[in-house]
Chain A
Amino acid sequence: MTGTVPLLEVTNLRVRFPTRQGPVEAVSDVSFDVHPGETVAVVGESGSGKSVTALAVMGLLDSGRVEGGSIRYRDEDLASVGTKRMREIRGEEIAMVFQNPMTALDPLYTVGNQIVEAIRLHRETGRKEAQQRAVDLLREVGLPDPERRARSYPHELSGGQQQRVMIAIALACNPSLLIADEPTTALDVTVEAQILRLMRTLQRDHGTAMLFITHDMGVVAEMADRVVVMYAGKVVEQGRVEDVLNDPQNPYTRALLASIPSPTISRDALMPAIRGAVPSLLETPSGCRFHPRCPEAFDRCPTEEPPLFDIAAGRDSRCWLHDRTPAGAVRGRAAGPSGEGASALGVGRAG
């Protein structure tokens, strides 16, 4: 993965929203990249800035503004290309699938028409030809009887079918990058599995890279090659999916993974959860933003903000526990009860 040139390279991205209480930084200093054909998942709780990051890449921030950093797509900086070029890129180069398919389709047009629109925005195609392509796309996303479906209005389709249509629209111009913003959150579990499978198949067939926004670790495991964990507008950990899920280095990632309810947990026991709530961006905690909720926080956490520590090749984590300098070594206690992570950490610090 490291050998190829990244398709999308987000560096030190900052996004601010003006509010009545003053500017709020929804995304601060976020960096990651997406290579051709790979899937990168961005995970985090609500309010972690993951959707804002996606919208920033698309240039679709309404009131927010990119205040710093760069978003490079191939060899263009999306933050500064200008509206006209950005319009060409949207749909043609980078397409997006939204969270709620029920509202993402215009209720007044047939789904066939909406796909035709998407095609004709970027391609000099005749109406007939575009309609044929629309039907082909609907067939490709697995809608039964695509000729008839093309004539259906969105309300005549189920949620899963609507999301398939959204995917068809996104793929209409064969984009190199697909941004999926929680595409299955609004669907029920059986449909979710179908849609995820479909997206994987299409991605393989078209060689599309995917930026997958989700809050569901299960989806991450199923879809992604690499994962970026975000908390309160910052990247706290990133790395290959197997590594991060099997051996989470950051206490936040560990807590997030620990809060996945398992079927073996007793019905009377409390569901595992991270105590507290995501901090309001108006009053971000001092030092490490996670420290008020962190089970492993120590005296350094509230005072100094940890940098991203490069803990292995292609693996970063933002936590003072990784600090191997003398100042960090003062800290004695090893990480909490989560066995594997703690021991791995211990080894890391000893070496």
Chain B
Amino acid sequence: MSSDVAGSPLAPVVPDQPRSGDRTPPTPSSSEAPPRRRGAAAAWAGLKRFIRTEKLGAVSLALITVFVVMAVFAPLLAPYDPLQQFRRNLTEAPSGTFWLGTDDLGRDVLSRLIYGARSSMIVSVVTTVVSLVLGTLIGVTSGFLGKRKDMVIQRLMDAIQSVPPLVLLLFLAVVLTPSMSSTIIALTIVITPSFNRVARAETMRIREETYIEAARATGSSSLRTMVKHVLPNMAAPMMTMASLLFAGVIIAESALSFLGIGTPPPTPSWGGMLSSGARYVELAPWMIIAPGLILSVAVFAFNLLGDALRDFFDPRLQR
């Protein structure tokens, strides 16, 4: 991966000459080191730089903003109540009245799509973030402890992963009552081991790096070394992993809805719309095309964002 290129000794060593120094924009030579802004100002500056340097990232950010706006302002944006059934307009094709058509129960597809953003976004974002944090915590701890404790933790994770996800989800469906929080819990259990695995592998790699030894040699404590050097250095692969798994979560959420432990009907969710629409593919293809498209776009947007974030946080790739 990119992270290996810059550190490789293949780069030509010109005796004590700046290698790429000339490419850095000349900054006014003041005697003070880099100005560091804090808090909101720093975040805003970072965001502006992100949009400037990562064009695709900016696009994905815009798309995600659209989804978030959709989810938050659903009642204002949706033309109809997503549960209202227009009995006389069952499976009606897209028209001026129903922009994306109606489903088999006569509900407006567009309104359901907009409201569906709520459950889909909440479930996938919360699941991904919680598993990312949990998996990283477990993986880093395991990788740092090593030896027997590492063995125990990893076999436990393997045990979870050895069960086919669908079977595990079915089991959880029996144990938990169908609700949004059960969906999140179930998916978190399924996905956390993947994050754990990457986090542990990265920890094992990074702890052998000389800069970790060097940090300890300057008197940095283990916790400090972990927070300041280990975690930031594994951010890039974790970010990629998160964007990949996010896509999986969106799809899994629809699978769960189909199985009956996802978002319970009649609450609209993209997954639920897909599964109910699947039965009417020939009769009313719009029922499946709209949620299918928006799902793909969402997955795509988050993948793009993942890539862009990874590049953004790697100073070696900065242009």
Chain A residues with CB under 8 Å of chain B are 58, 60, 87-92, 95-96, 98-100, 102-108, 110, 112-113, 116-118, 121-122, 127-128, 131-132, 134-135, 144-145, 147-148, 150-153, 155-161, 164, 166, 169, 172, 186-188, 190-191, 194
Contact = CB atoms under 8 A, between A and B. Distances in A.
A155 B217 contact: no
Contacts of B316: 107, 153, 155
A121 B13 contact: no
Interface in B218-258: 218-221, 228-229, 232-233
Interface stretch (B19-27, B186-194, B286-294): B19-27
A90 B217 CA distance: 6
B217 A108 contact: no
Interface stretch (B29-37, B50-58, B64-72, B164-172): B29-37
B99 interface: no
Given A90-B217, A155-B315, A132 B31 contact: yes
Contact of A131 (B6, B33, B209): B33
A89 B36 CA distance: 30
A138 to B, nearest CB: 10
B39 interface: no
Interface in B3-26: 3, 6-7, 9, 13-21, 24, 26
Given A105-B211, A107-B7, A187-B13, A152 B219 contact: no
Given A107-B316, A155-B19, 8 more contacts: A58-B217, A60-B213, A104-B210, A105-B214, A107-B3, A121-B219, A131-B32, A135-B31
Contacts of B32: 128, 131-132, 147
B29 A155 contact: no
A164 B15 CA distance: 12
B216 interface: yes
Given A118-B218, A158-B18, A108 B315 contact: yes
Given A103-B210, A107-B316, A191-B15, A155 B6 contact: yes
A121 B32 CA distance: 20
Contact of B214 (A127, A128, A166): A166
Contacts of B219: 87-92, 121-122
A173 B316 CA distance: 29
A187 B9 CA distance: 10
25 contacts: A91-B218, A98-B214, A100-B210, A103-B209, A105-B211, A107-B211, A113-B34, A118-B218, A121-B218, A121-B219, A132-B31, A148-B24, A148-B29, A150-B34, A151-B27, A151-B33, A151-B34, A152-B18, A153-B315, A155-B6, A156-B20, A158-B13, A160-B16, A186-B9, A191-B16
A95 B215 CA distance: 11
Contact of B30 (A147, A156, A186, A188): A147
A88 to B, nearest CB: 6
A103 B31 contact: no
Given A147-B29, A147-B30, A156 B215 contact: no
Closest 9 CB pairs of A and B: A131-B33, A91-B219, A91-B218, A155-B6, A90-B219, A96-B217, A104-B210, A103-B210, A160-B16
Interface of B: 3, 6-7, 9, 13-21, 24, 26-27, 29-34, 36, 209-211, 213-221, 228-229, 232-233, 313-316
A130 to B, nearest CB: 9
B34 A102 contact: no
A103 B29 contact: no
Contacts of B232: 108
A106 B233 contact: yes
B33 A60 contact: no
A157 B214 contact: no
Given A98-B210, A107-B7, A161-B16, A169 B31 contact: no
A128 B15 CA distance: 31
* From A103, A117, A121, residue with most partner B Cβ within 10 Å: A103
Nearest to A187: B13
A68 to B, nearest CB: 24
A270 B15 CA distance: 32
A158 B210 contact: no
B216 A90 contact: yes
B217 A147 contact: no
A121 B15 contact: no
Contacts of B217: 58, 60, 90-91, 95-96, 98
